[in-house]
Amino acid sequence: MQKEQNSIPTTKVARASEFVKTGFKIGVNHVKYYTKKAFDPTTTKAELHELNAVDIYDSLSQLKGSALKVAQMMSMDRNILPKQYSEKFQLSQYSAPPLSGPLVVKTFQKYFGKSPLELFDSFEMKANNAASIGQVHIAYKDGKKLAVKIQYPGIAESISSDLKMVKPFAVRLMGLNEADIDNYMAEVEVKLMEETDYTLELKRGIEITEACAHIKDLFFPKYYAEFSSPKIITMDWLEGKHLKDFMETNPSQEVLDKIGQTLWDFYEFQLHTLRQVHADPHPGNFYFTPEGNVGVIDFGCVKEIPEQFYYDYFSLINPETITNRERSDRLFKKLNFIYDVESPEDRTTYSGIFTKVIELLGRPFHTGQFDFGDDAYFEEVFEYGEKLTQMKEVRESKHPRGVRDGLYVNRTYYGLYTILNLLRARINTHSRFMEPNFEDEAAAFM
Chain segment 112-159, per-residue pLDDT in tens: 999 999 999 999 998 888 777 888 999 999 999 999 999 887 777 777
Nearest 5°: the CA angle 413, 303, 286 is: 60
Dihedrals phi, psi of 139, to nearest 5 degrees: -140, 165
Contact 150, 232 (CB under 8 A): yes
> What per-residue confidence (pLDDT) applies to 68?
60
> Is the confidence at residue 230, as pLDDT, over 60?
yes
Helix orientation angle between 45-63 and 12-39, rounded to the nearest 10 degrees: 170
Q: Is 396 helix (H, G, I), strand (E, B) or coil?
A: coil
Contact 138, 145 (CB under 8 A): yes
> What per-residue confidence (pLDDT) applies to 143?
95
> Is the confidence at residue 93, as pLDDT, over 90?
no
Q: Is 341 helix (H, G, I), strand (E, B) or coil?
A: coil
Chain segment 289-330, per-residue pLDDT in tens: 999 999 999 999 899 999 999 999 999 988 888 888 899 999
Q: What is the mean pLDDT of residues 385-411?
A: 83
Q: How far is it, in rounded angstroms, from Cα 319 to Cα 64?
A: 41
The β-bridge relationship of strands 286-288 and 144-151 is: unpaired
Alpha-carbon radius of gyration of the chain: 22
Q: How far is it, in rounded angstroms, from Cα 68 to Cα 59?
A: 9
Dihedrals phi, psi of 347, to nearest 5 degrees: -65, -40
> What per-residue confidence (pLDDT) applies to 376?
94
The β-bridge relationship of strands 302-304 and 369-371 is: unpaired
Q: Which amino acid is at 81?
A: L
> What per-residue confidence (pLDDT) applies to 255?
98
Partners of residue 278 on adjacent β-strands: 302
Q: What is the mean pLDDT of residues 383-393?
A: 81
Instruction: Kindly write down the DSSP assignment for every residue of 209-238, as one continuous string.
Output: HHHTTTSTTEE-PPB-GGG-BTTEEEEEPP
Q: Which amino acid is at 113?
A: G
> Is the confidence at residue 4, as pLDDT, over 90?
no
Counting every residue, how long is the chain?
A: 446
Query: Which is more confident, 137 or 75?
Result: 137
Q: How far is it, in rounded angstroms, from Cα 232 to Cα 383?
A: 42
Instruction: Provide the total of helices (H) and of strands (E) in the chain, helices listed first.
Output: 19, 12
Q: What is the mean pLDDT of residues 435-440?
A: 79
Q: Which of 121, 146, 148, 151 is nearest to 137 (CA)?
A: 148
Contact 198, 233 (CB under 8 A): yes
Q: Is 371 helix (H, G, I), strand (E, B) or coil?
A: strand
> Is the confidence at residue 183, as pLDDT, over 80?
no
> Is the confidence at residue 16, as pLDDT, over 80?
no
Share of the chain above pLDDT 70, in %: 74
Average pLDDT for the chain: 82
The β-bridge relationship of strands 218-219 and 276-278 is: unpaired
